[in-house]
Structure 1
Amino acid sequence: MLGELNTEQIESLLTELPVGRIGCHADGITYIVPINYAYDGINLYAHSAKGTKIDMMRKNPEVCFQADAITNLQNWESVICWGKFEEITDMLEREHAMQRIINKVMPLMQGADAQPSHGFTSAASNVGDEVELILYKIVLSKKTGRFEKD
């Protein structure tokens, strides 16, 4: 059976899932890439080193975001959101965003010394200074969801 997720189910999926895909478009090119994220009920928060995704979102801040939970091809849930990229520059907001991301990502890391690939330091709220860490939020304007269940 195919169906639509209700608002509560959409919010639950966005809150629970640790990885989604962000789609951005600039200069005639569409780019889709997976990201770790945290969701606060209003915005998605993420971090990145400078690169293609950040360059494109700075040129065109309108983005699409997709996350899904797939058990198998007959049992899945998927959320698609639209919103606007906003780089976080205020230091207090950067620390809060980073803490939110750390709280979401670190429990999923395996091994005592496991660290994400970039942007994290030993102090949880420290935004780091060895990598140009870009913290950003996606201010969501629309959310939809679908599911299939056998």
Structure 2
Amino acid sequence: MSMIADLEPVKCTGLLVDNYVGHLAYIADNEPHVVPSTYFFDEDRKCILCFASNGHRINALRKSNKVSFQVDSIESFRHWQSVQVHGTFEELTGDFAKQCLKRFADGVQRTIDHKNAERPHFLSHFSGKLQEAEMPVVYRIAVTKIIGKSVEDFT
């Protein structure tokens, strides 16, 4: 028998810390959009760090800053966990954006090393000093709410 249950806050945080790919949901032109996104959950600052190039997503987030971010761990149909974060998009600039981009890259690398996964090629771009022209748009999602659900098969 399977049962859906609320995920305890510490387990929600653990799922966010232990992963680096989630799905960002946002509104553009009165339409919902969901895109996969590499992220780092900054547990100390209670935010999700991300980056993107200027384009559809960033333009939409600048106009409507309320977002959701979902991270899942799915072992099977009867054994999964899912966390949804509600928050606010905040574009970062200048030296603070560079610091957060480095924090993002280091955090994602630590998560990947912990999981013994392959290093994404884009991380090497962040190891040196970036010029302003090369900088992607760095942003954070300031967390306002975290909810989680899980299913376990008890048969």
TM-score interval w.r.t. the shorter chain? 0.7 to 0.9
RMSD: 2.0
Percent identity, aligned pairs only, is: 26
**1:128 Cα shift?**
4.6
1:79 aligns with 83
The one-letter amino acid of 1:64's match is S
Where 1:120 maps in the other structure, the secondary structure is: helix
**1:52 Cα shift?**
1.2
2:118 aligns with 110
Where in structure 2 are there 5+ consecutive unaligned residues?
none
1:58 aligns with 62
The one-letter amino acid of 1:80's match is Q
TM-score, scaled to structure 2? 0.83
The one-letter amino acid of 1:35's match is S
2:20 aligns with 18
Q: Distance in 2 between matches of 1:121 and 1:80?
A: 28
1:139 aligns with 142
Which aligned segments of 4 or more residues in structure 1 are displaced greater than 4 angstroms? Answer: none
**1:130 Cα shift?**
5.5
TM-score, scaled to structure 1? 0.86
Deviations 1:17-72 (A, max 9, x none): 11110000032121110111111120000011112111110110011110011111
Where in structure 1 are there 5+ consecutive unaligned residues?
none
The one-letter amino acid of 2:82's match is S
> Aligned pairs, how many?
144
The one-letter amino acid of 1:139's match is A
Pair 1:97-2:97 in alignment? no
Q: Distance in 1 between matches of 2:135 and 2:106?
A: 21
